Amino acid sequence: MRLGVLDIGSNTVHLLVVDAHPGARPLPAHSHKVELRLAELLEADGSIGAHGVDRLVDTVRDAVRTAEEMGCEQVLPFATSAIRDAANVDSVLKRVREETGVDLTVLSGPEEARLTFLAARRWFGWSSGRLLLLDIGGGSLEVAHGMDEEPDAAVSLPLGAGRLTAGWLPGDPPDAADVKALRRHVRAEIARTVGEVSRLGRPDHVVATSKTFRQLARIAGAPASSEGLYVQRELSRASLAEWVPKLTGMTAEQRCALPGVSPSRAPQLLAGALVAEAAMDLYGVEVLEVCPWALREGVILRRLDHLPAD
């Protein structure tokens, strides 16, 4: 069957169309992305402003039209941190439902972590042993740890690269004092979760998803995306520690010139690097591997698990 997954994230609205059936690997058929940046469209009271809601409704309507044109039998729509944490979440969901017919499922932070963990587990398989998963989105950081497809620990923290950039790093390049304050804040937040995760034992394999980790791995020397999904891409704590001071002194335009860094994500890269470095330090991770599958694939796999076999 052909499925569409509509992901309303903090940075982008992404429609992924796949051909899939139970027991088989989902095959991507089409990808439609719009940089909406909901996390940056918040009012002072934490609500999504009228302009942001207008853009969201228009973008969802366009995505539904695209899904229909691509022949999707079903669209799985969900929203993450930006809508989940908005002060006017109920009115936003109501307007999207009334004007587009799409009833968005708002994933909790732990649900987001569990679904992303499922995708990583399916990608790497049982031979990878105990997994520790790290995912840095635009609005939140998700961490999950476990042996099975359902993690033993799944936590979410408001440490997304877009959220932190907007709230903590106004300068370009950022002021050294602001970077120091953000670094302290990030480490204090992550440190609260270390006991819950570490008590489960050392992971056999540490994996990371998200654009932030892919870009950090790329600037640290990992193969380009053009080399394909199945090429191993790693990021070491040592190489990340070398890059954080360099990123701190760069403007967004200078970061954009780095390999694999897109213009839209360049302003957020330093905040993402600070979160990645803190997570690797505090969880004792020397090297992690970037996983091509993430939350969208997790949503697809969970849906397929509930379909009857042919």
Mind listing the pLDDT tens digit for each residue in 196-219? 999 999 999 999 999 999 999 999
Distance CA 193, CA 198 (A): 9
Q: Find the mean pLDDT for residues 155-175.
A: 95
Instruction: Map residue 123 onto helix, strand or coil.
Output: helix
Within the chain, where are the H helices? 50-69, 81-84, 89-100, 109-124, 161-168, 176-198, 211-219, 237-248, 252-256, 269-282, 295-305
pLDDT confidence tier of residue 22, bands split at 50, 70 and 90 = confident
Q: How far apart are CA 223 and CA 75, in angstroms?
A: 33
Interval 129-155 mean pLDDT:
97
CATH number for the region 2-106 comes to 3.30.420.40
What tokens does 217 get?
Answer: 């791995």
φ and ψ at residue 147, rounded to 5 degrees = -95, -25
Give the CA angle between residues 215, 140, 105 to the nearest 5°: 115
Residue-wise pLDDT tens digits, 238-276? 999 999 999 999 999 999 999 999 998 999 999 999 999
Same fold, 2-106 and 109-295: yes
* Distance, CA of 179 to CA of 69 (rounded, Å): 46
Name the E strands within 112-161: 131-136, 141-146, 153-157
The full set of domain ranges for the chain reads 2-106, 109-295
Report the chain's mean pLDDT, rounded to a whole number. 95
Give me the percent of the chain exceeding a pLDDT of 70.
Answer: 99
pLDDT tens, residue by residue, 223-247: 999 999 999 999 999 999 999 999 9
Ramachandran assignment for 16, one of left (phi > 0), alpha (psi -120 to 50 degrees), beta (any other): beta
For residue 122, the tally of other CB atoms under 10 A from its CB is 17
308 pLDDT above the threshold of 70: no
C-alpha torsion 130→136→140→141, nearest 10: 30
In whole angstroms, give the CA distance from residue 53 to residue 91. Answer: 10
CATH superfamily of the 109-295 domain: Exopolyphosphatase. Domain 2 (3.30.420.150)
